[in-house]
Amino acid sequence: MFVLAAALKAGYTDDALYELTKIDKWFLNKMRNIVNFHVTMETLSVIVEWFFTARCTIVQSPIFDRMSSVCDVGG
């Protein structure tokens, strides 16, 4: 499963993986959806981490004062 996910993440098409593995294209498509979701969540995680780091270090705005406890927890 992890090798299949890595191949999908690396850009292999469903057709190419089908030819290599003979895994059903329906299953490959479902795996692609999971991999795409995982990549999206990784990206959002980085964005959220950046946002809170920026908030805690450089952004001074009363709009975000209610999140000051987040800064105390993270650093």
Neighbours of 28 (CB within 10 A): 21
Looking at residue 75, its pLDDT comes to 44
Domain range holding 9?
2-74
Q: What is the pLDDT of residues 29-73, one digit of tens each?
A: 999 999 999 999 888 888 877 777 776 666 566 666 665 555 554
pTM: 0.62
72/21: higher pLDDT? 21
Helix 25-57 and helix 2-9, axial crossing angle in degrees, nearest 10: 70
Residue with tokens 């270090």: 57
Residue 58: predicted pLDDT: 64
The first and second tokens of residue 50, run together, are: 């950046």
The four Cα atoms 37, 38, 39, 44 give a dihedral, to 10 degrees, of 90
